[in-house]
Amino acid sequence: MNKIQEPKAAIGQAIDRVEGRLKVTGRAKYASEFPVEGVVYAQGLNSTVAKGRITRIDTAEAERQPGVMKVITHQNALKLATPDEKLLKLDTKAIAPVLQSPEIHWYGEFVGVVVAETFEQAQHAARLVKFEYEKDEHRTEYKDAGEDDSYAPSEDMQHRRGDVEAGMAKADARVEVTYRTPVEHHHPMELHAVIAEWDGEKLKVYMPAQMVNDATIGISDTFQIPKENVHVISPFLGGGFGSKLQAQEHVMLGAMAAKMVDRPVQLTVTRQQMFTNTGLRQENFQRMQLGATRDGKLTALVHDTLSHTSTEKEYQEPCGAASKMLYQAPNARITHRLVPINLPYPWAMRAPGEATGAYALECALDELAWKLNMDPVELRIINDTQVDPSNDKPFSSRLLNECLRIGAKRFGWDERPKEPRSRREGNWLVGYGVSSASRAAPLQKSAAKIILERDGDNLQATVQTDATDIGTGSYTIIAQTAADYLGLPVERVAVELGNSDFPTSAGSGGSWGAASFTNGVRSACLNITDTLVTLAGHDSTQGDDLVTLMKKADLTRHEAEGSASPTEEFDDYSVYSFGANFAEVWVDADTGMSRLKRILSVGSAGTILNPKTAYSQVLGGLVMGLGMTFMEQSKVEPNHGNFITRSLSDYHVPVNLDLADIQVVFLPEEDKIANPMGVKGIGELGIVGVASALANAVFNATGKRMRDLPITPEKLIATELEPGLARK
């Protein structure tokens, strides 16, 4: 086509989810629901020590049970690929060997699997397998670790600019505090599950995979078979939040069991096993130092993070990511250090690093504003920058100040109590809090195929890509994109996702999904139109529709692929989504019980493809941030090294009664540097800064700084007022 016209008919409309009817009628197939003939069931077995080795296994009683087909342990397991290095660096394509050794690294590690004809038989037999261990002394504490007892995971995780000591010396006000965020666990509604079926040396896997292509690589590399021999199917996911970014050990257990019994095997990770076998958000200790002049200009910023990883796998949240780039601090030091301990390996959870790091950074800024007697909104605006200070690249667009100013006006920030603990409603102390939010908005290479089928004057389009819908609305925004670029109504577009036989996309994660998927689909739409113009022998500027072009080319079916990748211009800019959160929290003066009264999220995230699904994404982030602030935490029993929290009855998450007035506003923003459609990620932006806005509101209500999440009533009551505040 001579000139690309960017359509607007469907894009930007708040249409209902195109797959919604399938979901509410139960016809959407999730991983454990596919009808596979001859399927049998597997149940994973977990260690009951935190460190040591297996010395004896008794499987006799389990093997005598009706229906039991196989008990697999390290003694008879298939040989899988194992890492060359001592600490396997986790990524979305990493291998996941299991049952390869008698060594135990954490409490709950998989030590075996039972396969039986029915799910109930497998569960019963699993309780009858007996393990004996030689225990070693384990380690689950690390907060006092020094440099000799920790290590820097990589140079990329460290950042320095200017002279921090000189910057601190110039400061008129300083803040030096440490914040802690606890272990949080992944609990999407859909449990992790797998159905694995072998046909000779070819493996078909039904699994909830956020990144289908990477899952095929992880599986093929683990079993040391060609990638083309692995077929992953994942059309629907009941939530992922990072936990389903890679093929983990339970996937390998299911595939191994299927190979060894020569039957399709279904394995579902139990809710209790979700605490030990699907990754977690690691505990972080974050030491913040800020220095500023009297007028609020930052002179220095230090953000040092100490975290844990497992003794066999390495992962660290980049908690200092926002501290590197969000504010104009000429002198900065960002460091990350890790301590290997005997807990399950950490892994990505929604906005890894940004969600936890923003809690420390944005709370420290609030503490600095209090010391300077400045409005917290104005302090952030004063330190705005249009150039990324971490790399000296200009931002492709940055409306952070607009988010703060518009949000403050809409929220009624001018009514904020100037003095903490000064506003009451009966027995409730009332406070306001604010925070900034930022999240990188990358574009990853993504491809799609368009299939056009014509029946007379009726045209049906099908989009195929291995992109995934993790509950975010991918089906819908892809349908809207294809409809607009093909000139069809949305009802004439079918979308097929989550199949490794389809063109490769980036998958869902890292806030790149929507931008990558839709730009890939856009490219495929433009390609199919161009090829039809050529086949029709017609000048496209005359504006013939696709039906006319296919008639002229004498075609009833036509297909084409296309892909999108970042441009060279993209690399010359820092590309981010930005936002601001405003919260009103009420705290009972006697019990310390906190209640969210209202929260406002203002975001600038480029083209909003569908305001309805976008709102849902941010709403989910706000709710998850609420849980992070007031409820979610996992506690370790130090003597045995296991988690005390082992179910949703003691690991608390928000419910409807915990919510209040939630408002979400998207600012109009055009950013064609980010990508041709100007789309940016919002799925992770929605959680960033929520915990800090709420914690800052608690300070404004009570005069107490809460530097240890979650903010529970007992912690709040035990915390002293900030110096200089009189009890009211």
CA distance 47 to 642: 10
Return the closest-CA partner of residue 694 out of 501, 494, 484, 431.
431
The neighbour count for residue 668, using CB atoms within 10 Å, is 9
Q: Which two tokens stand for residue 114?
A: 């039972």
In contact, 311 and 341? CB cutoff 8 Å: yes
Query: How much of the chain exceeds pLDDT 70, in percent?
Result: 98
- Segment 311-315 shows an average pLDDT of 97
Which positions are annotated as active-site residues? 684
**pLDDT number for residue 727:** 46
Q: Which residues contact 284 (CB under 8 A, 6 or more apart)?
A: 180, 181, 305, 306, 307, 317, 319, 356
- Ordered DSSP codes for 383-444: T--SEETTTTEEBS---HHHHHHHHHHHHTGGGS-SSTT--EETTEEEEEEEEEEEEE----
Q: Which residue reads 């979700």 in tokens?
A: 274
**pLDDT number for residue 724:** 79
**pLDDT number for residue 541:** 52
Q: Which helix (H) or strand (E) holds 120?
A: helix 119-126
- Domain covering 34-137+189-239+244-275 assigned CATH 3.40.50.720 in the classification: no
* Residue-range domain boundaries for the chain: 20-28+443-565, 34-137+189-239+244-275, 280-441+572-718
Domain 20-28+443-565 top-level CATH class: alpha beta
Q: Which two tokens stand for residue 54?
A: 């297996």
**pLDDT number for residue 5:** 66
In contact, 100 and 79? CB cutoff 8 Å: yes
Q: 437's torsion region: left (phi>0), alpha (psi -120 to 50) or beta? A: beta
Helices in 567-689 by DSSP H: which ranges? 611-630
pLDDT at 597 over 50: yes
Strand partners, 425: 428
Q: Which residues contact 189 (CB under 8 A, 6 or more apart)?
A: 238, 239
Tell me whether the CATH fold assigned to 34-137+189-239+244-275 matches the one assigned to 280-441+572-718. yes
In contact, 534 and 552? CB cutoff 8 Å: no
In contact, 331 and 675? CB cutoff 8 Å: no
Residue 2 pLDDT class (50, 70, 90 cuts): very low
- Segment 382-390 shows an average pLDDT of 98
Instruction: Note if the bond before 710 is cis, omega within 30 degrees.
Output: yes
- Segment 628-637 shows an average pLDDT of 96
Strand partners, 178: 287
**pLDDT number for residue 540:** 54
Query: How much of the chain exceeds pLDDT 90, in percent?
Result: 95
Report the predicted TM-score, pTM, of the whole model to 2 decimal places: 0.96
pLDDT at 728 over 80: no
Residue 390 pLDDT class (50, 70, 90 cuts): very high
Return the closest-CA partner of residue 663 out of 726, 717, 598.
598
- Segment 597-615 shows an average pLDDT of 98
pLDDT at 3 over 80: no
What own/partner pairs with CB < 8 Å and gap ≥ 24 does 613-620 have? 613/17, 613/472, 613/473, 613/476, 613/477, 614/664, 614/666, 614/682, 615/664, 616/472, 616/473, 617/472, 617/473, 617/682, 617/683, 617/686, 618/664, 618/682, 618/685, 618/686, 619/662, 619/664, 619/686, 620/686
Of the two residues 146 and 225, the one the predictor is more confident about is: 225
Note the pLDDT tens digit of each residue in 147-185. Answer: 899 999 999 899 999 999 999 999 999 999 999 999 999
Residue 253, SS3? helix
**pLDDT number for residue 544:** 84
Whole-angstrom Cα Rg for the chain? 27
- Segment 30-40 shows an average pLDDT of 97
- Tell me which of 377-381, 403-407, 565-569, 714-718 is least confident: 565-569
**pLDDT number for residue 539:** 62
Q: Which helix (H) or strand (E) holds 185?
A: strand 184-185
**pLDDT number for residue 312:** 96
Q: Count, in order, helices (H) and strands (E) of the chain.
A: 16, 32
Strand partners, 375: none
Q: Which two tokens stand for residue 80?
A: 């899988």
**To 10 degrees, the CA torsion angle through 674, 678, 683, 689?**
70
pLDDT at 472 over 60: yes
Q: Which residues contact 226 (CB under 8 A, 6 or more apart)?
A: 220
Residue type, 581: N
- Segment 390-401 shows an average pLDDT of 98
Residue 287 pLDDT class (50, 70, 90 cuts): very high
Residue 725 pLDDT class (50, 70, 90 cuts): confident
pLDDT at 542 over 60: no
β-strand pairing of 110-116 with 68-73? antiparallel
Task: List, edge to edge, every strand of the sheet that includes 52-58.
Answer: 103-104, 52-58, 130-135
At the topology level of CATH, where does 280-441+572-718 sit? Answer: Aldehyde Oxidoreductase; domain 4 (3.30.365)
Note the pLDDT tens digit of each residue in 188-197. Answer: 999 999 999 9
Q: Which two tokens stand for residue 496?
A: 């097929």
**pLDDT number for residue 608:** 98
Return the closest-CA partner of residue 682 out of 453, 513, 447.
513
CA distance 451 to 447: 14
Residue 537 pLDDT class (50, 70, 90 cuts): confident
CA distance 501 to 204: 11
Could you give phi then psi for residue 563, rounded to 5 degrees? -145, 160
CA distance 607 to 671: 8
